[in-house]
Amino acid sequence: MQYRYLGNSGFKVSELVYGNWLTHVSQVTNDAAIATVHAALDGGITSFDTADVYANQAAETVLGEALKGQRREGLEIFTKCYWPVAERGANDTGLSRKHIMESINGSLKRMNLDYFDLYQAHRFDYETPLEETMRAFADIVRQGKALYIGVSEWNASQIRAGHALATEMGFQLISSQPQYSMLWRVIEAEVVPASQELGVSQIVWSPMAQGVLTGKYLPGQPAPADSRAANEKVGGSIQEFLKDDLLTAVQNLKPVADELGLTMAQLALAWTLQNPNVSAAIVGASRPEQISSNLGAVGVKIPAEVMTRIDGILDGFAKFDPALMVSPATRLC
């Protein structure tokens, strides 16, 4: 495993972060989830990402169980708050001081932890003053409940405003967690330049476009029975990538991967890690062998001419518009 600094800090994370967004509880049994976490640990992954909303709190519980007995100081554990979980009362959503404080206390209890290494705002909250949100995060850091603060799916102007307040309040905003892959490049025009200027780096989710960039979805054919797209519980958000012309273009990446001695999944992960503002890519898995294979992306350097070829293959299919990065306009949506 290789490590990279997260933002302008002394905090390092593994280049691959194990995440349990759509797998734990929703897609696999708890025993299978624990087995994949142990495969990640065996492969040198020490950074783990979850959120209270994943599987309606249960994903945090499973991850905490899977990590039990590990040396806490040797792990980097991240979670997030914003969305409602369990209850949907007036104060059960967003980034108010009340919801943030109750959310982190609940997450710590579920995972049986004293602190999180990184606590993240899962979306931007347009209904709560940003000063209130950032002051709550400042207090969480001072209380020792989180060591660092990050955001997820905030646009460039929101990151700038949050970073300025964090600096004023004496703590660090060090990370952004956006969707990013060969097919979803909306952070490149604005978020990445702003983040580089401010000393913020990216922990990217869906680097394989929810599995589409592995090549397992074939044009004109039904989704494999054991795949995410075939699972009614978790398959809805993948549909935008399942158009036949896009899937045909993705198949044209296979010769590129073969030339580099990589699987298509490894190529997709390695591609995201070529971006100097990306500190880590989040990977999920339903089977331990998937994690073991993903580790082959660590340390790979893709030649510039190959990166250009990839751009050509996916021309017309990749999304670049920064406006596609949107947080909910209202909390209860």
Contacts of 117 (CB under 8 A, 6+ apart): 11, 75, 76, 77, 78, 146, 147, 148
CA distance 33 to 80: 20
Burial category of 38 from C-beta neighbours within 10 Å (exposed 0-12, middle 13-18, buried 19 and up) = middle
**Is 54 one of the catalytic residues?**
yes
CA distance 204 to 176: 8
The token duo for 328 is: 């909910």
- The residue with tokens 């209904």 is 127
- The residue with tokens 């142990």 is 38
Phi, psi of 61 (to 5 degrees): -60, -45
Contacts of 73 (CB under 8 A, 6+ apart): none
CA distance 271 to 56: 32
Catalytic residue among 3, 18, 54, 217: 54
The token duo for 324 is: 């596609």
Q: Do 59 and 25 touch, CB atoms closer than 8 A?
A: yes
> What are the catalytic residues?
54
